[in-house]
Amino acid sequence: MKPETQQVNTTQAAELLIRAKEASIADLSGNVDFLEKKNADLQARYTALFKLNQLSQECNDLESFYPQVHSTIASLMTAKNFFIVLYDQTFETLEFVYYLDEKDEKPSGIIDYQDYDGSFTNLVIESKQPLLLTPELEKQLFDNYKIKQFGVRGTDWLGVPLLQNGLVIGTITIQSYDEKIRYNENDLNLLTFAAQHIVGAMVRLQDQQRLKNAVNARTKELMAQIREREKSELLQESLYRISELTTDIELDIDTFYSKVHNIIGQLINAKNFFIAKYEKESDTLSFSYYVDEKTSNLAKDFKPRKLSNRYSELVLRRRETVLLTYQDMMSLHLEGETKKPQDDIHSWLGVPLIYSGQLLGVMVLQSYYYKTTYNQQDAELLNFVSNHVSAAIKRRELADFERRSHELLEQQVKLRTLALEDEITHRKQAEKLLKHTAAHDSLTGLPNRTVFLDLLNHAIACAKRKDDFSFAVLFLDLDRFKVVNDSLGHHAGDVLLKIIARELLAIVRKVDTVARLGGDEFVILIEDLKSNNEAFEVAQRITAFLQQPFTIDNQLVYTGTSIGISFSNKRYSDADTMLRDADTAMYHAKDNGRGRYEVFDDSMHQKVQNALSLEADIREAIGWQEFIPYFQPIIKLDNQKLKGFEALARWQSTKRGFVYPNDFIPLAEETDLIKEIDIQIIEKSCQQLKHWHDELGCDDLYVSCNLFSKQFFSTSLPQDIEKVLKRTGLAPHHLRVELTERALLENAEIVLTNMQALKNMGVKILLDDFGTGYSSLGYLHRFPIDVLKIDRSFISNVDEHNNNRAIIRTIVDLANNLQMSTVGEGIESLADAELLQQMDCVYGQGYYFAKPMSSQDTKDYIIQKLYYSKNV
């Protein structure tokens, strides 16, 4: 490069650098100007808001206050068109107290609020929210009939509510008619903030104005009445002084009352004076301030008291001024309205303290000297003063409450700030507790079903990945747990469950999981088995442990357990299936004698499938009306006459052929299908018996039908029976219903109600299998039972067993004493029948007389019996 060229390039670079610096300096200067302008705007806003706070001190009346508010707002934003509206919620009126507008005239006087329905002001008052109304929003609201047109249409309209204690007392509005003058959200926020400062000052000035107006008006009236006493100036000054006391929030309450007393004392002789506050909740008087020249023990005489028949209470009851001489007080006493007055009382004057209709208390003057006698003028004066004292007391209380609230708030803020870390810690602890609660049983603290299924699913997944990993599930159900609950109560049952849960944890290894599924069901996951014998050993230890008695509430409690075991297998893909198989094995253990364990195999699964298939067929059979009654005769033992039949359910299945009750009734009871079968058998039995009555003329025969115990827990049972009788036409006294003792042990009130309803209908009630229950004797006197059926287990070979004879004799004697009949079941020989007859058992049934028969065979049996009785 040539030297000349190099010099030229250097010169150009220098010039470029100088220009860049100049531009940078210009930008910096612009930013400084912008920041200075921003600072000036903020300073102007701060000055304006400070000015708003000073208005209540600088302004003596509202007339000068409103223009200064406008002036201050105008210093913050363009506000050529500005107005303030006051809203009276009680009278539902509006008043435009300040109004400047380029195009519209000020609405005059007090305006009905309804007249402005649909106005922008109405929107702000109803919503209690600030509103920035642009032409676009105005058109949208107008088109949707949300607003109406009031006055000249403008560009932007800005309005905010004046809120006092959450209530709207008015609005402030700024309006623009010029497209160049527009408002934004910042203006809306600023006006809203300013309104908060305006409300307090405005309310104070309004209160002061109202007070002055009231004082001036009332003072003028009093001056005419008490001109002769030349106290008008003193009265006005005193009232102003009382009013000023309300604004001095630094003044403590005792000093406040003392100053009130001093002011009143300048108007009326008040050597003996007190103010008592009325506590409505406790119905008591509490003496806030008292001075008395005669009382030696002020604290005792002016302690809080329940309302009684004294003179202060008379003022409270009447809610009016009471002026009394000693003679007046004695007259009231003799009439029984008040207590006897003190001998040294000469004159007494009391006025109620009432604020906004609320009774605050009473203010009292009393005189002990004849030279000081209160008159009607004193009463009127004190009554007038009481209005201001009431307002002053209420405002002092409110101010004191507000001060304490502020102090409490500040303290709470400090405490809250200091407690944030503790709160976070507690929240974490609570979350941890919630997680634990969601995953564990609330009674025993063991993991719940959800957690157990998650762990079991994880074990199944591990077994699929590892060929040498094996595990087992033990499903436990307590034996006779329901007996514990029924006999000792649920508290004892809960204690037993807690003990068993604790012991199960001690029996298994720490790596194993014990969970409670609910009720008396527990499950155990035994992982990483070396052999199946480990699971068998755990089951044996648990079985042996639960065979031992427990002591609960000083009572020995016996239980036991049946355990089902399912071992890990490749065919298991989910926890529910494996748990179901363990459950199935547990039921096999129960069926095989309880107090044992069984391992699940495919044959059990097949049994479950068979039960499901049988259940489905039972449901179909109910719909197809396949269940039919077989009839077994009931004989009067002394003359062998036929009295009636017991109807027994049989199933003539289109799929399975003839099915005996032992093959379907247990499953029907387990699935609650037995209820529908019972009703079907009752209806067919009643229909058949009615047919025999009409055809054979044997209208003295009855039919007795069995009802599953849960039938008596249904409130609709009497109605169901009544419908059957109406459909079949059978008279109620020809029907008997049989229930077992189990029904009497649960839901006793519902069972009793149903039995009484059936008795009232005319249906008789038999107690079946008597003598095999737990608490039968305790229930017999309570339930309306007509017949006891002696269980066949006592009658079988009764002539060979002396113990059975004693039991039967006891049952028969018990029935006779309770005016019940007896039926002996299972009579299989002449000897059985004769022995029962000798024991005064009235009726009998069994194979000795006849087996249960079909309808046709029963008809033949009836005809044979009828023929026999005619020829005997």
* Residue 871: pLDDT over 80: no
Q: What is the reported pLDDT for 264?
A: 85
* Residue 868: pLDDT over 70: no
Q: Convert the pLDDT of each residue in 370-401 to its tens digit.
A: 888 999 988 888 888 888 788 877 877 777 77
Give Rg (Cα) of the chain: 49
Give the pLDDT band (50/70/90) at residue 539.
very high
Which helix (H) or strand (E) segment holds residue 613: the answer is helix 602-623
* Residue 10: pLDDT over 50: no
Q: Decide if 833 contacts 848 (C-beta within 8 A).
A: yes
Q: What is the reported pLDDT for 72?
A: 86
CATH fold match for the domains 449-600 and 614-871: no
What percent of the chain stands above pLDDT 90? 32
DSSP state for residue 799 in the 8-state scheme: G
Mark 370-383 as b/e (b = at least 16 C-beta within 10 Å): eebebeeebbbbbb
Residue 558, CA distances (Å) to 476, 482, 493, 561 in order:
16, 11, 12, 11
Nearest alpha carbon to residue 643 among 635, 652, 654, 651:
635
DSSP state for residue 334 in the 8-state scheme: H
Q: Convert the pLDDT of each residue in 335-348 to its tens digit.
A: 988 999 888 899 99
Q: What is the reported pLDDT for 27?
A: 53
Q: Categorise residue 290: left if φ over 0, alpha if ψ from -120 to 50, beta otherwise.
A: beta
* Residue 771: pLDDT over 80: no
CA angle, corner 292, sides to 287 and 293, nearest 5? 165
Q: What is the reported pLDDT for 768?
A: 86
Q: What is the reported pLDDT for 120?
A: 87
Confirm or reject CATH 1.10.10.10 for domain 226-404, answering yes or no. no
| Residues 137, 781: Cα–Cα separation, whole Å | 82
Nearest alpha carbon to residue 520 among 597, 446, 459, 584:
446
Q: What's 100-155 look like in SS3?
A: ECCCCCCCCCCEEHHHHCCCHHHHHHHHCCCEEECHHHHHHHHHCCCCCCCCCCCC
Q: What is the reported pLDDT for 777?
A: 62
Q: What is the reported pLDDT for 650?
A: 93
Q: 126-140, 466-480, 712-726, 744-758 — which is least confidently predicted?
A: 744-758
Average pLDDT over residues 140-149: 78
Pairing type for strands 702-706 and 735-740 reads parallel
Which helix (H) or strand (E) segment holds residue 352: the answer is strand 347-355
Interacting residues of 303 by C-beta distance below 8 A, sequence separation 6+: 287
**517 in helix, strand or coil?**
strand
Q: What tokens does 785 get?
A: 């039972």
Q: What is the reported pLDDT for 207?
A: 81
Give the CATH class of 614-871: alpha beta
Q: Convert the pLDDT of each residue in 547-587 to its tens digit.
A: 888 888 888 888 889 999 999 988 888 888 889 889 888 88
Q: Convert the pLDDT of each residue in 623-666 to its tens digit.
A: 899 999 999 999 999 989 999 999 999 998 888 889 888 888 88
Confirm or reject CATH 3.40.640.10 for domain 449-600, answering yes or no. no
Q: What is the reported pLDDT for 441?
A: 85
| Residues 154, 104: Cα–Cα separation, whole Å | 11
Give the pLDDT band (50/70/90) at residue 3.
very low
Q: 488-492, 604-608, 786-790 — which is least confidently predicted?
A: 604-608
| Residues 266, 469: Cα–Cα separation, whole Å | 103
Q: What tokens does 87 get?
A: 């809203």
Residue 48, CA distances (Å) to 39, 77, 679, 801 in order:
14, 11, 89, 113
Q: What tokens does 637 get?
A: 């033992």
Q: Decide if 453 contacts 572 (C-beta within 8 A).
A: no
| Residues 816, 833: Cα–Cα separation, whole Å | 19
Q: What is the reported pLDDT for 775?
A: 45
Q: Convert the pLDDT of each residue in 396-425 to its tens digit.
A: 777 777 777 888 888 887 887 777 777 777
Compute the mean pLDDT over every residue in the chain, rounded to the nearest whole number.
Answer: 84
Q: Convert the pLDDT of each residue in 177-231 to its tens digit.
A: 988 899 998 888 888 888 888 888 888 888 888 878 877 777 777 666 655 556 6
| Residues 761, 776: Cα–Cα separation, whole Å | 25
Give the DSSP letter string of 453-465: HHHHHHHHHHHHH
**551 in helix, strand or coil?**
strand
| Range list of H helices, 697-826 | 717-728, 742-745, 748-761, 776-780, 792-795, 802-817
* Residue 723: pLDDT over 90: yes
The residue extents of the domains of the chain are 57-197, 226-404, 449-600, 614-871
Higher pLDDT, 761 or 34: 761
Q: What is the reported pLDDT for 2?
A: 43
Confirm or reject CATH 3.30.450.40 for domain 57-197, answering yes or no. yes
Beta bridge partners of 740: 768
**637 in helix, strand or coil?**
coil
For the chain, the residue count is 872
What percent of the chain stands above pLDDT 70? 88
Q: Decide if 608 contacts 584 (C-beta within 8 A).
A: yes
Q: What is the reported pLDDT for 43?
A: 67
Q: Convert the pLDDT of each residue in 773-826 to its tens digit.
A: 544 566 677 888 999 998 888 887 666 666 778 888 888 988 888 889 999 999
Q: Convert the pLDDT of each residue in 291-345 to its tens digit.
A: 988 877 888 888 899 998 899 999 999 999 999 999 999 999 999 889 998 888 9
Average pLDDT over residues 845-850: 93
| Residues 681, 717: Cα–Cα separation, whole Å | 15
pTM (global) more than 0.85: no
Pairing type for strands 167-175 and 157-164 reads antiparallel
Mark 615-630 as b/e (b = at least 16 C-beta within 10 Å): bebbeebbeeebbbbb
